Structure 1
Amino acid sequence: MLKISLAAARVNAGFTQEEVSKKMRKSKQTIVNWENGRTSIDPANLKALAELYSISVDNIRLKA
């Protein structure tokens, strides 16, 4: 299956960055940084995002 970015996964799931930040209890800037690859995301938060977006972690492409 094709891998998609965190931002694309979020948009496909119908969430804004602000909504995700509230659900994840993280700052909006943290969500932005994860999506842009400015900061790396730890496995636990990646799994939580994948669950929130209803996709498999294996289908998420992270920016290096």
Structure 2
Amino acid sequence: MKISLKAARVNAGLTQTQAAAKAGKNKMTISNWENGKNPIDSFSLEKLCTIYGVTIDDIFLPSKLANR
């Protein structure tokens, strides 16, 4: 079963601010990725997956937002 970026973050017990600090991004960037306002690049997706303890295959991204 695939989950959203937000669900992966929440399951990891992190706030957007905490996730942003670990990823070297700002909170608004994390928010925009979670809300589908901006596409996430593959490097950042891999980094977030590592931080959240999930694989890329676990994450659901609408095809229009997946910037591969």
Deviations 1:6-60 (A, max 9, x none): 0000000000000011111111000000000100000000000001111110110
SS in 1 for 2:40: coil
More helix by share: 1
5+ long unaligned stretches in structure 1: none
In structure 2, the partner of 1:29 is 28
Letter in 2 for 1:5: S
Q: Which runs of 4+ in 1 moved over 4 A?
A: none
Q: Return the TM-score normalized by structure 1.
A: 0.93
CA distance in 2, matches of 1:62, 1:7: 11
What is the percentage of aligned positions where both structures have the same residue? 49
SS in 2 for 1:61: coil
5+ long unaligned stretches in structure 2: none
Q: CA deviation at 1:62?
A: 1.4
Count of aligned residue pairs for this structure pair:
63
